[in-house]
Amino acid sequence: MPTKIILDCDPGHDDAMALLLAWGSPEIELVGVTTVGGNQTIDKVTRNALAVARVAGIHGVPFAKGAAHPLLRPVEVAEEIHGASGLDGPVLPEPDIELDPRHAAQFIVDTVMAAEPGTITLVPTGPLTNIALAMRLEPAIVGRVREVVLMGGGARVGNWSPVAEFNIVVDPEAAAAVFAAGWTVTMVGLDLTHQALATDEVVAAIREIGTGPARFAGELMDFFTAAYREVAGFDHPPVHDPCAVAYVIDPTIVRAIPAPIAVETRGEHTLGMTVVDLRGPAPEGTRTQVALELDAERFWGLVLDAIRALGDPLVERVD
C-alpha cells in the first residue's frame, strides 16, 4: 500500500525535485499539494507548483494555496538562492490545473479528518505556517496524522544564521508549535540534507534520461548549483526537500534517532535554532526524531527512478 502524503511546499528548486520524486514513486500516493509563502511570495510559489505539475504530468491531485506570511513576522524570501521567480532557470510552462478553492490549512484539516486515522503523512518542505494554522483550526488532526516528516532545522548546523535553518527561522512560532504538538515528527534537517549533493555525476545522470522532466530537473540543478556556489560557497548544492520524501519512501536510507527537539523563538543570536538534545538516550515517550545520515547513492537512485517513471508528459500530450 502506498503511503498517502500531503506535500506542503514553497517551490523552490528542491521543492520541485520533491514533487517530481513524490509523483514518480509508486510507494507514495500524493493526496494533495499545498503551498506556503517561503522561498518566494505565495503567488509565485503557487504558480511554480502548478508549473511543476504540468512538467511532471501531475493530474487528479488537488493543489491548495496557503499562507502568504508567517504567523507573527514579516515575509522573508530566499531570492539569492531561488531567484526572482522562486524557480529561476528553466522556462516554466503555463499551468493547466485549477487551484482548489480552499485555503491550504482548511484543505489539510478536511483531508486528515476525512481519512482513516493514522493514514496521512504530512511532508512540509517550507515554513511551517500552514501546518500550525491547520492545528489551530482543528487540533484533532494531531491525533490522526500518521507522522510529520519535515525538511527543516539542523542539530549541529544552520544556513540562514550560524544556528538556524531557513524554513524554521522565517516562522519560528509556527515551527515551535509543530514540534511541541505531540505527534510523531521526523526532522530531516541540514545535518542530513548536506549529504544530498547534486554532484556533476548526479546532474549528468538526470540529463541522460532525456525526457522533459529530466531536462527541467537538469536546468533547475544548473541554476541551484550556481546560486549555492556564489551565495554559500558550496561546490555542489544540497538538494534538501526530496530527502523528506525519500524518508517516507524508504526509511532505511536514513539514520534517524529519537531526541527531544525545541525551537528557539526568543534568542538574540539563536532565533529559529532547533535545539536537539543529543546528550543521551531520549526519554521514554519522545515523539520527535532527528535524521542524521543519508545513503546518498540510494537516495539519488530513488530520484532517478522517479524521473524515469514520469516519462515525457508534455510530449505525450501533444501526440
Part of the chain binding ligand BDR (CB under 6 A), chosen from 163-171, 177-185, 224-232, 248-256: 163-171
What grid cell was written down for 107?
Answer: 484543505
Is 240 an annotated catalytic residue? yes
Q: Cell numbers 485555503 correspond to what residue?
A: 103
From the list 34, 35, 130, 167, which residue makes contact with ligand BDR (rule: CB under 6 A)? Answer: 167
Part of the chain binding ligand BDR (CB under 6 A), chosen from 165-173, 279-287, 295-303, 310-318: 165-173
Measured from the CB atom, the residue of 78 and 120 that comes closer to ligand BDR is 78
Q: Work out what residue 166 binds among ligand BDR, Ca ion, none; the CB cut-off runs from 5 to 8 Å by kind.
A: ligand BDR
Q: Are 239 and 39 in contact (CB under 8 A)?
A: no
Distinct helix (H) and strand (E) counts, the chain: 14, 10
Region of 2 (left: φ > 0; alpha: ψ -120 to 50; beta: rest) is beta
Q: Rounded to the nearest whole angstrom, what is the least distance from the CB of residue 104 to ligand BDR in the complex?
A: 16
* Measured distance CA(163)–CA(22) in Å, rounded: 29
Q: Are 35 and 104 in contact (CB under 8 A)?
A: yes
Region of 290 (left: φ > 0; alpha: ψ -120 to 50; beta: rest) is beta
Count of residues near ligand BDR by CB under 6 A: 15
Measured from the CB atom, the residue of 12 and 32 that comes closer to ligand BDR is 12
Question: Which residue ranges make up the site for Ca ion (CB under 5 A)?
Answer: 10, 12, 15, 125-126, 241
Question: Which residue ranges make up the site for ligand BDR (CB under 6 A)?
Answer: 12, 14-15, 39, 78, 81, 125-126, 151, 159, 165-167, 240-241
Q: Which residues are catalytic?
A: 240
